[in-house]
Amino acid sequence: MGEARKKILITNDDGYLSDGIKALEEALLGLGDVYVVAPESEMSGASHSLTLSRPLRIRQIDERHWTVDGTPTDCVTLALNQILAPDIRPDICCSGINLGANLGDDATYSGTVAGAMEATILGVAGLAFSLVAYRDHDFTESARVAREITERALRDGLPAGTLLNVNVPKGVTNGLKITKQGFKSARPVISEHIDPRGKPYYWIGEERNGFRAEGGTDFEAIDEGYVSITPMRSDLTNHSVIAQLGDWNSHE
């Protein structure tokens, strides 16, 4: 008997009708059986939020496509524990392709990264793909990169509990670079307006002033025209300072 076909779960945070998820699905079709479980509407900035305050609804479009009226985390949780279970267990979860960067600190806000993160927590390898462009976008190169990285991850595997946060620069890339998460230099900008009823409302934005050039960061790789691949995990512990804070321990 031949080797069983790989099973690939796709999600995103831009919604199931986005151009990015369509490009990702098309790129991965030849690698195995592809299943799409994505938010009904755009959920950008949802981070790793799980919907607990209301019920969720699943809509099946066909035998390989479903939508959920929730977050990317909801989608992956339901995909692995309800929609595909118990008959189908994905070998990998690919999230994206997000329109816009998920570099440095912004990865903590990202629903795209969170979808891949939730998969790793549930025991499935996760890949998050983002295109560093906002206007005049073309997913051709990022889709090619997504296929290349997914194929390699399926073949070689990933360390347990590890997701790869992949950012692809606009245009033809210079290659791939394994990077660390960088830090942006930015400040919040709050814009206040008045609605037609005379009540104030607020729009949160930011003013960016580049990034910290520390060497080997995701920002620097993108700035140099490389695909940035940052290994991440759900463990947020700052292990390097545990010993430093040791005298905080108290004993009865």
Report the CATH fold assignment for 7-182+213-235.
Stationary-phase Survival Protein Sure Homolog; Chain: A, (3.40.1210)
Q: For residue 1, what pLDDT is reported?
A: 55
- Please check whether residue 165 is in contact with residue 133, taking contact to mean a CB–CB distance below 8 angstroms: no
Q: For residue 7, what pLDDT is reported?
A: 98
Of all residues in the chain, what percent are helix, strand and coil, respectively (each to 5)? 30, 30, 40
Q: For residue 214, what pLDDT is reported?
A: 73
pLDDT digits (tens, 9 = 90+) for 208-235: 666 667 789 999 999 999 999 999 999 9
pLDDT digits (tens, 9 = 90+) for 33-73: 999 999 998 777 778 888 899 999 999 999 999 999 999 99
Q: For residue 139, what pLDDT is reported?
A: 95
Q: Show the low-confidence residues of the chain (pLDDT under 50).
A: none
